[in-house]
Amino acid sequence: MVSILIVEDEHAISDLLRLNLERAGYACTCAYDGMQAADLLEDTGYDLIILDVMLPKADGFELMEYIRPLEIPVIFLTAKDSLEDRMRGLTSGAEDYMVKPFEIVELLARIKIVLRRYHKADTSLEYGDIVLDTKYRTVTKTGKTVELAPKEFELLLFFMQNTGITLFREKIYEEIWGSEYSLESRTLDLHVQRLRKKLGLENQLKTVYKMGYRLE
């Protein structure tokens, strides 16, 4: 799970952030002043830091000096909408900058962008109500775990990474089984049938006559 450190001394904002970020699937830790944040950073690795500028004990810019060597992306939060602060925030190495009051939706979108840039993005792929997690190798449908055999999992991942594209049988064999496709083999068809059944993909996982399969 992606973990985020929220450094914000105003409890109302901090609580609101934590609530919304946790709802979005992030693990959150809160620090309420600069020193506490520095302590937490010493012991724990975070994937991203949301950092208020005006903080007791050590402010956001001072803390930034401490964070930079750790190479953790930072999104600054500030009530001050001055150009000077904005420039200072970005030149001190923050990835992004948000002015209070801000929209949570916008912050969530920026978090995603920053995480993607740092390759720490969510390891999950979504297709309708199906969620596949590549890190934990789990698949859920409408929130319920679906047990898949290892090759079924690989196959589903391959389809989800290539939605809308017809995948040739030969290519699927090569990718999933690492072997040449043989005309007699029914392995692939069997796996596709099981995926359809387990995940209710009868209408979406299409057979492309004489070619292969396509996840619409």
Q: Which residues bind Ca ion (CB under 5 A)?
A: 9, 52, 54
Measured between alpha carbons, how far is 53 from 35 in angstroms, rounded to an integer?
A: 13
Q: Which residue's CB is nearer to Ca ion, number 78 or number 139?
A: 78
How would you classify the pairing of strands 48-52 and 205-208? unpaired
Closest approach, Cβ 79 to Ca ion, in A, equals 7
Q: Which residue's CB is nearer to Ca ion, number 54 or number 108?
A: 54
Closest approach, Cβ 55 to Ca ion, in A, equals 6
Closest approach, Cβ 60 to Ca ion, in A, equals 8
Q: Which residue's CB is nearer to Ca ion, number 34 or number 73?
A: 34
Q: Which residue's CB is nearer to Ca ion, number 16 or number 54?
A: 54
What DSSP element (H or E) covers 168? strand 166-168
Closest approach, Cβ 7 to Ca ion, in A, equals 9
Alpha helices in 24-103 (DSSP H): 34-43, 60-67, 83-91
Residues 44/28, Cβ–Cβ less than 8 Å: no
For 184, counting Cβ atoms within 10 Å of its Cβ (0-12 exposed, 13-18 middle, 19+ buried), the class is: exposed
Q: 67-78: buried (b, 16+ CB within 10 Å) or exposed (e) per residue? A: beeeebbbbbbb
